[in-house]
């Protein structure tokens, strides 16, 4: 199989070139956004458009952070996402553990039914959530928004954590329990440390999904000071005509960077998990 002949070598270089060109095309919209965020307004309207900024500037980022509410949107999104992710993961961890270790009647169909949540159109759930929070006087509440986001973080973290918890050998916790640990203590001291990679993957994945979410925020939040990053950008680009493209592009870059950093952090793990999960399903 492994012949390192001239022909094989040439073929690999050719493949690499094809792959890089494909990658450039695929990433072009994002590259273009990044470059545009550093161009002064005059250059944005330049015809023909040029790829690289001629007169590199940070002015759009300065404007974004000093004269808009985006720093607040950031804070809102981070708080909402962290709350929804941590609560979702904690509840799924406990639930997955007890499903895999005990035989409750109906536990199996129940976990199967969880997959069903993937099928629900988000707009279908948005209707009752709007009603529920409105009736409770909690529209425009970030707490209500985070609780609503549990509909996303719960199934996702359940889906990601299950294989991890299942693969932890029972003999480990049994050893702990023979030593006198209670079930819960065995869970905390024996299972949790083993599940750390799964928890990390679940956290990053659900964080990204919540960070990117728009529909629930759009439906539940109308107060400008409660907006999330996605909602903030959406309201910028939905104006009938956008004049400050530099600012909008800078906002887009700033909304993307945390996601890519998180992804780089646990990227390999996530790719493996995502792929494997989907194949098994």
Site for other proteins in 128-147 (CB under 8 A): 128-132, 134-135, 147
Q: In the range 167-196, which residues lie near other proteins by CB under 8 A?
A: 176, 178-185, 187, 189-190, 193
d(CA 85, CA 150): 8
Using only the alpha carbons of the chain, give its radius of gyration: 24
Distance CA 122, CA 155 (A): 13
Residues from 54 through 73 that contact other proteins (CB under 8 A): none
Instruction: At 144, list the tokens.
Output: 């209500």
Which of 78, 234 has the CB closer to other proteins?
234
Number of residues near other proteins (by CB under 8 A): 103
**Using CB under 8 A, which of 40, 53, 122, 163 touches other proteins?**
122
Backbone angles phi, psi at 68, to 5 degrees: -120, 175
Cβ-contact 87, 152 below 8 angstroms = no
From 124, 137, 169, 170, residue interacting with other proteins (rule: CB under 8 A): 124
Residue 171 and residue 45 in contact, taking contact as beta carbons nearer than 8 Å: no
Please choose, from the candidates 140, 157, 141, the residue with its C-alpha nearest in 3D space to the C-alpha of residue 97.
157
Query: Cβ of residue 80: shortest distance to other proteins, in angstroms?
Result: 14
The residue among 160 and 229 lying less far from other proteins, judged by its C-beta, is: 229
Summary count for the chain: helices (H), strands (E): 13, 0
Q: Say if CB 149 and CB 80 are below 8 A apart.
A: yes
Binding mask of the shown chain, residues 12 to 51, with x at each position contacting other proteins by CB under 8 A: xx-xx-xxx-xx--xx-xx-xx--x-------xx-xxx--
Q: Which of the ranges 52-60, 65-73, 78-86, 226-234 carries the binding residues for other proteins, by CB under 8 A? A: 226-234
How far apart are CB 225 and other proteins at their closest, in Å? Answer: 19
Smallest gap from Cβ 95 to other proteins, in A, equals 3
DSSP assignment letter at 243 = S
Q: Contact, 169 vs 245, CB < 8 A?
A: no
Separation of alpha carbons 231 and 218, rounded Å = 6
Q: Of 208, 220, 221, 247, which lies in the binding site for other proteins, with binding defined by CB under 8 A?
A: 208
According to the binding rule CB under 8 A, does residue 164 interact with other proteins?
A: no
Residue recorded with tokens 């793990």: 269
DSSP tag of 226: G
Q: Which stretch binds other proteins (CB under 8 A): 54-62, 67-75, 113-121, 159-167?
A: 113-121
């Amino acid at each position: 199989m492994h012949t390192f002949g001239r022909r094989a070598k040439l073929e690999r270089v050719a493949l690499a070139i094809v792959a890089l060109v494909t990658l450039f095309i695929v990433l072009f919209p994002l590259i273009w956004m990044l470059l545009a965020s550093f161009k002064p307004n005059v250059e944005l309207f330049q015809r023909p458009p040029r790829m690289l900024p001629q007169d590199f500037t940070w002015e759009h980022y300065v404007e974004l952070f000093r004269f808009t509410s985006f720093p607040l949107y950031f804070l809102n999104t981070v708080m909402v996402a962290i709350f929804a992710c941590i609560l979702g993961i904690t509840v799924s961890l406990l639930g997955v553990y007890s499903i895999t270790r005990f035989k409750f009647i109906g536990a199996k169909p129940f976990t199967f039914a969880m997959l069903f949540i993937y099928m629900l159109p988000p707009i279908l759930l948005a209707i009752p959530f709007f009603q529920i929070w409105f009736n409770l006087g909690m529209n425009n509440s970030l707490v209500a928004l985070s609780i609503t986001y549990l509909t996303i973080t719960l199934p996702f973290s359940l889906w990601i954590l299950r294989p991890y918890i299942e693969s932890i050998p029972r003999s480990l916790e049994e050893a702990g329990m023979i030593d006198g640990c209670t079930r819960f203590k065995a869970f905390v001291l024996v299972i949790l440390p083993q599940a750390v990679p799964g928890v990390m993957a679940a956290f990053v994945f659900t964080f990204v999904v919540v960070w990117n979410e728009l529909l629930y925020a759009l439906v539940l939040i109308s107060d400008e000071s409660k907006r999330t990053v996605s909602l903030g950008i959406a309201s910028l680009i939905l104006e009938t005509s956008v004049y400050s493209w530099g600012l909008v592009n800078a906002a887009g870059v700033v909304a993307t960077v945390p996601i890519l950093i998180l992804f780089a952090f646990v990227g390999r793990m996530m790719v493996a998990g995502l792929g494997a999960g989907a194949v098994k399903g």
